[in-house]
Structure formats: C-alpha cells, structure tokens
Chain A
Amino acid sequence: MKDKVMHPLAELTIARIKETIREPEVLFWVFVFPILLAVALGIAFREKPADKLRIAIVESTGAGQISKLLAVRKDMEPVVLDAAEANEQLAKGKVDLIVSIDRGIGAQPEGDVPGNLVFTYDETRSNSETARMATQDVIERGLGRKDIVSIRDNKVVTPGSRYIDFLIPGLIGMNIMGSGMWGVGFAVVLARTRRLLKRLAATPMRRSHYLLGFMLSRMIFLVPEVAVLVVLGWIMFSVKVYGSIPDLAIVSVFGSMTFAGLGMLVASRAKTIEAASGWMNFIMMPMYILSGSFFSYERFPAFAVPIIRALPLTALNDALRAVMNDGKPLYAIWLELAVLAIWGLVSFGVALKIFKWQ
C-alpha cells in the first residue's frame, strides 16, 4: 500500500532526502563543485617531466667541448655564455650552474680538455646540487673515467605518489566535511528559525529520531558524493584505489557521521542562519588549511603536527589516503578512526543535550 506510513525514523530520513535533492544549490555544491575543483587542480598540478638542467659554460677555449659532452644527457641543456651573462642568468634562476674553465694552477694547456673547472651555483636552490653532480659525472665519464661498480637502474613508479593521487582523497575528505556540516547545520537552524522545530517538539516524535534522521540521510548521500570523486579520479587521472572499496566506504561513513555530529553541535543553539554560518566557517576554515587536503600538513612545524593530526578532517584525510593510496587495511588506521569516532560521538552527545527546540 502506497499510503502505508512507515516508522518515524524512516519517514524523517526520506523527508530529509527529498528536501535535499529538491534544492538545486545543494546538488551543485555537493556534486558539481567538487568535480570542477578536482578537474581544475588536476590540470594545474598535472605531472610534467622534470625540468631540464640548464648549465652555463663560460666562453673560453674548451667550452665547446664541454658543451658537447653535456649535450649527451637528454635532461641537460648546456649554453655557452660570456661570464657576465652567465652570472646574470644564474641570479635569475635561468641556469642552475655555471661551469668556468680555470686556467690557473694545474692547467693542461697542451690538451683540448681543461684540467681544472670551477662550478658556480646557489646551494639553496633545489636543482643546483643535482646539476653539480650530473655535470661532474658527465664530464668525467666523457673524458674516459672508468666506473668502479656497475649500476643498473631499475626505475619504478611508486603507486599513488603523484599530486593528483594525493589530492583526490583530500577533496573527498573536504567534501564529506562540507556537506556534513552544511547539510545538517543549515537545515536544523532553518527549521528553528521557521519554528518548525518547536512544532515537531509538540508532537510525540522522539527527539533523537529527528537528529538520527539527518545522520541516516547523510549516509545515503555519502555514496554518490564519494563515488563521484573516486570515479572522476579514476577516469580522468587514473587515480587507483589500492585498498578495498568496503574499507573506503567504512572510512567515509566514519567521516560523514563525525561531521554530521559537528554540524548538529553548531546548529544546536544557533538562532539565526548567520550565526550558524559564522560558526561553521570558524570551525572549517582552519581545517581546510591545516588538515592536508591540498598539501601535506608535515610542512607545518613539528610541534603543531600532533595537534593537527587530532583534528577530524586530518584524521579523515589520513585514513582516506591510507586506504586509497597505500592500500592499508582498516586495522592500520585504527587511530584515525578512533579520532573520528570520538569527535563524532562527543559532538552528537553534547548536541542532543544542549539542543534548543524553540
């Protein structure tokens, strides 16, 4: 029978789902926006082949030969310049290293090849050390150095090590946070300002059912929310999920419940949408930056890292990356799951206690 009314929790959850999908803005922010963001960032940070090392050789006899030696390596771009030009280009970062031929002590004027070279470079630049070693290696080898041990290069690509591999789980985490907090918080405060909460409080509805209805509807939306990014990452950037899909689902559910709880807490007493928005941003903004959605939190000072790792979004991002990038099983991320569970349970519990129905 179509008219059969179901359990209040089921009816509340269904009503919540219907309300959400009938709100076009919600669909944009939850589904379209993360896709746009992932595509934009994926393109901006796509893997480029490592930049060529540009080596300046100061114009003098023998410069041509060195240039020829260096050109053997495909990742090197030797240029012969006069000293002033070379220095200027080094200062601007256009070349990584200057090779000048020293005619001083120990020079071998009879041969074409100079005996003493001077390498000029800025040690603080990331490429300079590589440039120095590579230049020395190529020149010595070219002049007939014999290798003492033979080395065979075995090049592998570490799974999940590209930026896009790092980014997709971060975006999933961020999306779970955003839609959990906004999805729950906004709707609750709106219902309060419209006196709908008070009206519901006047019915025999169990108050925990109302709040649980939000949690359940969040779980249902979670499936497409996560799937959209996983599938996009897979199709567009071949980002693979190395762990199991059920594990990914479990981590997502933990995250979703945690942020639904936090959203509920923010909404538990707020009387206006503006007040709630302020609190949401106050809570979420630091996590956008600190919790490693876009870049690793290891860049922050060491003393801050344990604090950052205690934040719910950090725990969620770490857990998602452990499953997606590293293929770790759930027991390896128990700490992250525990952090999420504690945040979720505490905020939901407090929210239920201090919740204002009028």
Chain B
Amino acid sequence: MEKEKEKILEQSINSDAPAVRCRGVKKYFRAVHAVDGVDLEVRVGECFGLLGPNGAGKTTLVEVLEGLTPADEGVVEILGYRWGSGDDRAFRDRIAVQLQETQLADKLTVEETLRLFRSFFSRGHTVDEVIKLGDLEEKRRERVHRLSGGTKQRLALACALVSNPEILFLDEPTTGLDPQARARVWEVVEGFKLAGGTVILTTHYMEEAARLSNRVAIMDHGRFLAIGTPEDLVASLGGREIIEFNVQGELAPGLLQGLPGVKAVDKKNEGYILKVLSIDATLPALLAEVEKRQARLVHLVTRQVTLEDVFMSMTGGRLADEG
C-alpha cells in the first residue's frame, strides 16, 4: 500500500507522466462487457480518437477515464493520478469534459452559463476570451434554449474550454449536426490542439476522427480492434487506393487478383472492389483486360482508401449509425 502511494505521488509530480494511461481496464454492466480489457497511453499534446459504432463502449471508456464511472478492473491514470486517491478536485481542475447530450440550463444565457462554469475552476480563460474561442460572440446574450444545435454544441465546448484544461475529453461532439455546424466545432477543437492541448475524442464519424486525431483506435464490443495513426490504419488494409467498377460480361476474380498492384479483390453486388497500391499501375492493365474479354464497363470509380474502409473491414461492415 505504502509503496503504491509513493508511486502515485511520484507519478503525479513527474511532469513526463502521460496524459492518459490505462492497463487492463474492464467495466461491466451486469452481463454486458462495456469495456473489456483496454490498454491505452496518450501522450501530452496528442489528439486521440476513439472510433466505433454505437454501443461499442466508447462512452463508458471515456467516462472511466474522466473519473465519472469507476472501472471494475485495471488501472487508470490521468496525468499520473488515479481517481479516488484523495485529490480528485485538483485534477478536475486540470481536465475538462464534454459529455454526450448534456443539456445546459435552458433559461441562462450563453454568457451566464460560461460565468457559472468559470467560477468552478481555479484557473483558465476569462469569459470574454472563451466566448471568442467558442465563436459565440453573436449569441452571447441569447438564452440556451433558443440556440441551434450547433451553437449549443459550441457552448458545451466553450464550457469545457473555460478552464484552459490540459486534457479535453469530447464525447461525440458533432453527432446530429449539419456539415457546416460540424466544421465550426472542428475549428474550435483545432484551435485548442494548436495551443498544445491534449484531446481524447469519441466519434463514429470517420471524417472527424481522421481530421482531428493524431492516433485512432477502432473499438467494438468493448475492445480495441486496431490502434495507430489514420495513415497506418489505412496502410494496414494493404492497398492505398481503391478501384470500384461494374462490367457487363464475365471477368474471373482470379484474373483480377493477378493484375499488377492489386492487394485485395472484393465482390460487391454486381461489381468489384480492388484495393491497389497505385491506380497508375493497375488501371491501364484493368482496362486492357476488360477490352480483351469484350466486356463492357458500365461504372468505374477510383478513390483513396479511407478510415471508413478500415472501419468497415474491421467491424464486419456494420454501419456507423447502426446500434
């Protein structure tokens, strides 16, 4: 016990402590293994994205990290501190949280809400500064219930940023927002990142994870299926680019596999999906082959491999918005 305490003390003094460190974290709700053995280390200044379908355990994991839900097993350290070891308030002062679907008090204005949140923290921005950071100047005196979804979300974000935290936890910050509102939220988060902040983000939007995160974990059924930079994850699929096409006529899959640069061939409905190293190398060969077989090309698309392809192949093709 004593040794453990010393260790904790040492780690909390040690400024090199990672922003987040967890080992073997498990959290069960009766028979549901919401988090089923997660190891994670996030460096200070990093933006880490948790990507997964609804029900994957992202929110539970984040709430365990935030100290709102105790883990059943495993070790969680935030800036070297373990929740519940006597100094929670001091560490709450250093992190900030945006929960999924928190509704702030309807009858208060944007400014009043921020004042209230600011008063809880020993440090941070002034209310004016954080209104600017959250891009909320125009809505400053508007009551919360009159705000649009996107503005509400930026206010929630501003409530988190008001203390100028060392770590910012964001749980699905843009779910349900239109693309424009989403982009404005991203800009606010990017501003925080640029200033050196650490971000832990959950999302089921690939685009969001790819744009905001240095590293991404793909999570499903309470476990990490893969972890790495978006580029690494994309590369792990083998190909870097994709050719999708439909033909009228016969083309043998074995033949497609043999084309130069092809890493994988999937059949989709009537068409084919080729994962390739480079379109330059494969496309002329493919077209030549189609001509040779006297098949007729009815549809052809080429694109970069995205996180979505990685996600689909790892979660067995479950759609992001399905539960």
A residues with CB within 8 A of B: 3, 5-8, 10-12, 15, 18-19, 22-23, 191, 194-196, 198-206, 358
In the bound complex, residues from chain A placing their C-beta under 8 Å from that of B126 are 3
- Contacts A3-B127, A203-B120; A196 near B105 (Cβ below 8 A): yes
Say whether A204 contacts B99, CB under 8 Å. no
In the bound complex, residues from chain A placing their C-beta under 8 Å from that of B127 are 3, 5
Min CB distance, B280 to chain A, in Å? 51
Q: Bound complex: CA of A7 vs CA of B68, how far in Å?
A: 24
CB contact list, B123-176 vs A, under 8 A: 126-128, 143, 159, 163
Min CB distance, A271 to chain B, in Å? 15
In the bound complex, residues from chain B placing their C-beta under 8 Å from that of A3 are 126-128
Min CB distance, A125 to chain B, in Å? 58
In the bound complex, residues from chain A placing their C-beta under 8 Å from that of B97 are 199, 202-203
Closest 5 CB pairs of A and B: A194-B103, A11-B119, A204-B92, A202-B97, A22-B107
Min CB distance, A243 to chain B, in Å? 37
Residue of A nearest to B93 (CB): A204
Q: Bound complex: CA of A23 vs CA of B107, how far in Å?
A: 8
Say whether B99 contacts A198, CB under 8 Å. yes
Say whether A203 contacts B102, CB under 8 Å. no
In the bound complex, residues from chain B placing their C-beta under 8 Å from that of A11 are 115-116, 119
Say whether B116 contacts A15, CB under 8 Å. yes
Q: Bound complex: CA of A194 vs CA of B108, how far in Å?
A: 15
Q: Bound complex: CA of A221 vs CA of B236, how far in Å?
A: 64
Say whether B90 contacts A195, CB under 8 Å. no
Min CB distance, A7 to chain B, in Å? 7
Say whether A18 contacts B102, CB under 8 Å. no
Given A195-B99, A201-B68, A203-B120, 9 extra CB contacts under 8 A: A5-B118, A18-B107, A18-B108, A19-B108, A22-B107, A195-B102, A196-B103, A199-B159, A203-B117
Q: Bound complex: CA of A200 vs CA of B101, how far in Å?
A: 14
Task: Indicate which residue in A6, A22, A202, A206 contacts B68 across the interface (CB closer than 8 Å).
Answer: A202
Q: Taking each of A196, A199, A201, which has the highest tally of chain B beta carbons within 10 Å of its own beta carbon?
A: A199
Say whether B116 contacts A12, CB under 8 Å. yes
Q: Bound complex: CA of A201 vs CA of B90, how far in Å?
A: 13
In the bound complex, residues from chain B placing their C-beta under 8 Å from that of A203 are 92, 97, 117, 120-121, 163
Residue of A nearest to B103 (CB): A194
Q: Bound complex: CA of A146 vs CA of B241, how far in Å?
A: 128
Say whether B112 contacts A6, CB under 8 Å. no
Q: Taking each of A196, A203, A204, A206, which has the highest tally of chain B beta carbons within 10 Å of its own beta carbon?
A: A203
A-B CB contact pairs (8 Å), 5 listed: A3-B127, A200-B120, A201-B68, A202-B92, A204-B122
Say whether A199 contacts B99, CB under 8 Å. yes
In the bound complex, residues from chain A placing their C-beta under 8 Å from that of B122 are 204
Instruction: Tell me if B66 counts as interface (CB < 8 A to partner A).
Output: yes
Q: Taking each of B89, B90, B159, which has the highest tally of chain A beta carbons within 10 Å of its own beta carbon?
A: B89
Say whether B105 contacts A198, CB under 8 Å. no
In the bound complex, residues from chain B placing their C-beta under 8 Å from that of A19 are 105, 107-108
Instruction: Tell me if B281 counts as interface (CB < 8 A to partner A).
Output: no
In the bound complex, residues from chain A placing their C-beta under 8 Å from that of B92 are 202-204
- Contacts A5-B115, A8-B119; A202 near B99 (Cβ below 8 A): yes
Instruction: Tell me if B312 counts as interface (CB < 8 A to partner A).
Output: no
Say whether A198 contacts B102, CB under 8 Å. yes
In the bound complex, residues from chain A placing their C-beta under 8 Å from that of B99 are 195, 198-199, 202
Q: Bound complex: CA of A201 vs CA of B102, how far in Å?
A: 12
Min CB distance, B158 to chain A, in Å? 13
Residue of A nearest to B97 (CB): A202
Instruction: Tell me if B104 counts as interface (CB < 8 A to partner A).
Output: yes
Task: Indicate which residue in B93, B105, B119 contacts A5 across the interface (CB closer than 8 Å).
Answer: B119
In the bound complex, residues from chain B placing their C-beta under 8 Å from that of A202 are 66-68, 92, 96-97, 99
In the bound complex, residues from chain B placing their C-beta under 8 Å from that of A15 are 105, 108, 112, 116
Q: Bound complex: CA of A7 vs CA of B143, how far in Å?
A: 23
Say whether B102 contacts A199, CB under 8 Å. yes
Residue of B nearest to A194 (CB): B103
In the bound complex, residues from chain A placing their C-beta under 8 Å from that of B143 are 22
In the bound complex, residues from chain B placing their C-beta under 8 Å from that of A196 are 102-105
Q: Bound complex: CA of A7 vs CA of B121, how far in Å?
A: 10
Q: Bound complex: CA of A7 vs CA of B116, how far in Å?
A: 9
In the bound complex, residues from chain A placing their C-beta under 8 Å from that of B101 are 195
Q: Bound complex: CA of A196 vs CA of B106, how far in Å?
A: 11
Q: Bound complex: CA of A195 vs CA of B92, how far in Å?
A: 18
Min CB distance, B194 to chain A, in Å? 24
Min CB distance, B162 to chain A, in Å? 9
Q: Bound complex: CA of A198 vs CA of B100, how far in Å?
A: 11
In the bound complex, residues from chain A placing their C-beta under 8 Å from that of B66 are 202
Q: Bound complex: CA of A10 vs CA of B118, how far in Å?
A: 12
Min CB distance, B68 to chain A, in Å? 6
Say whether B119 contacts A7, CB under 8 Å. yes
Q: Bound complex: CA of A203 vs CA of B68, how far in Å?
A: 10
Min CB distance, B242 to chain A, in Å? 40
Min CB distance, A336 to chain B, in Å? 36
Min CB distance, B200 to chain A, in Å? 13
Q: Bound complex: CA of A320 vs CA of B107, how far in Å?
A: 34
CB contact list, B44-75 vs A, under 8 A: 66-68
- Contacts A8-B119, A15-B116, A199-B97; A358 near B102 (Cβ below 8 A): no
In the bound complex, residues from chain B placing their C-beta under 8 Å from that of A199 are 97, 99, 102, 104, 159
In the bound complex, residues from chain B placing their C-beta under 8 Å from that of A206 are 89
Residue of A nearest to B101 (CB): A195
Min CB distance, A141 to chain B, in Å? 73
Residue of A nearest to B92 (CB): A204
Say whether A205 contacts B112, CB under 8 Å. no
Q: Bound complex: CA of A12 vs CA of B113, how far in Å?
A: 10
In the bound complex, residues from chain B placing their C-beta under 8 Å from that of A7 are 119
Q: Bound complex: CA of A191 vs CA of B106, how far in Å?
A: 10
Residue of B nearest to A16 (CB): B105
Q: Bound complex: CA of A191 vs CA of B93, how far in Å?
A: 22
In the bound complex, residues from chain A placing their C-beta under 8 Å from that of B104 are 196, 199
In the bound complex, residues from chain B placing their C-beta under 8 Å from that of A191 are 105
Residue of A nearest to B99 (CB): A199
Residue of B nearest to A197 (CB): B102
Q: Residues 17-43 of chain B: 1 if any A CB is under 8 Å from the residue's CB, otherwise 0?
A: 000000000000000000000000000
